Amino acid sequence: MVNLAYVIAGSEATGGAGVQTDLKTFQQRGVYGVATVTCIVSFDPKNSWAHRFVPVEPQVIADQIEAATATHDLDVVKVGMLGTQGTIDVVSKALHEREFRHVVLDPVLICKGQEAGAALDIDNALREHILPLSTVITPNLFEAKTLSGMDSIETVEDLTEAARRIRELGPRYVLVKGGVEFPGDDAIDVLYDGEQTHTFSVPKVGNERVSGAGCTLAAAVTAELAKGAQVRDAVATAKAMVTAGIEGRVSAHTPFDTVWQGAYTG
Ligand code: PXL
């Protein structure tokens, strides 16, 4: 029997992030992947790789969700980039209407191609409609600052405090990711479930951001949960996959490399 994992997220045309990454991650973790596309991001090589962002019509998103969920019994879903309030509304309605055992939210607040003014609206809509439905949320440093209202996150205590504050918004588990911008030599993530805090730490692999790390991490957590893992074990496996994927990264003509999902065979 094969386990199934579902993702509702954006397409990123270079293959380095978004649903392309999620499906590769699902496959590599041995689960059958199903994807619903919320928006299409095409970097512009003529304009410093700026993000060209096109939302998919809310009705078309609803149609995809209907097709996917009528075809398969999907009980674990990752939610990635949503990008507009119309999209947040349709996805939140779909999540309310169906019972998912796990909703893993990668809270991609905004991409560089959208107006800055939209960020606050998206942030508020995510807080109100999607965060309370998620069982696991995986903010990076920027997203954690925005969602927690903290100006700076520079220590493990700050990561933990951010996780505490974000958990008050509704998710059952919060995984705050330090990433390359967190001070020090280690890539540190903190998982908080309301009672216990667990710190995951590995030496940083270089100091450059690698595209697709956040998408791969949340997708790998989703795949492991689909196979029946506990959240803490799912995060440990996902972090090992991302670390291997950064070590084995794919270089590209973009200013950043991308994670190779095939590097991890554990
Ligand atoms: O890595 C965040 C991300 C997620 N989803 C889509 C993206 C990006 C970044 O470019 O384009 C669709």
- Taking the C-alpha atoms of residue 24 and residue 34, their distance in angstroms, rounded to an integer, is 11
Q: Are 3 and 200 in contact (CB under 8 A)?
A: no
- C-alpha pair distances (Å), 95 with each of 42, 62, 239: 27, 11, 26
Q: Compute the residue count for the chain.
A: 266
Q: Per-residue pLDDT tens for 12-71? A: 999 999 999 999 999 999 999 999 999 999 999 999 999 999 999 999 999 999 999 999
Whole-model pTM?
0.97
Distance 143 CA to ligand 1 centre (A): 13
Percent of the residues in the chain that have a pLDDT greater than 90, as a whole number: 92
Instruction: Count the Cβ atoms, other than its own, within 10 Å of residue 227.
Output: 16
Distance 93 CA to ligand 1 centre (A): 23
User: What is the atom index within ligand 1 of the atom nearest the CA of 214?
Assistant: 1
Point out which residues pair with 187 in neighbouring strands.
Answer: 202
Q: Per-residue pLDDT tens for 97-123? A: 999 999 999 998 766 555 666 777 888
Distance 10 CA to ligand 1 centre (A): 7
Distance 43 CA to ligand 1 centre (A): 10
- Taking the C-alpha atoms of residue 102 and residue 50, their distance in angstroms, rounded to an integer, is 33
Question: What pLDDT, on the 0 to 100 scale, is given for residue 122?
Answer: 85
- Taking the C-alpha atoms of residue 97 and residue 132, their distance in angstroms, rounded to an integer, is 14
Q: What is the mean pLDDT of the chain?
A: 95
Tokens of 251: 């270089």
pLDDT: is 219 or 112 the higher one? 219
From atom 6 of ligand 1, which residue's Cα is the shortest distance away? 18
- C-alpha pair distances (Å), 200 with each of 4, 161, 184, 188: 27, 16, 14, 6
- Taking the C-alpha atoms of residue 86 and residue 59, their distance in angstroms, rounded to an integer, is 10
User: What is the atom index within ligand 1 of the atom nearest the CA of 39?
Assistant: 12
Mean predicted confidence (pLDDT) in 162-184: 97
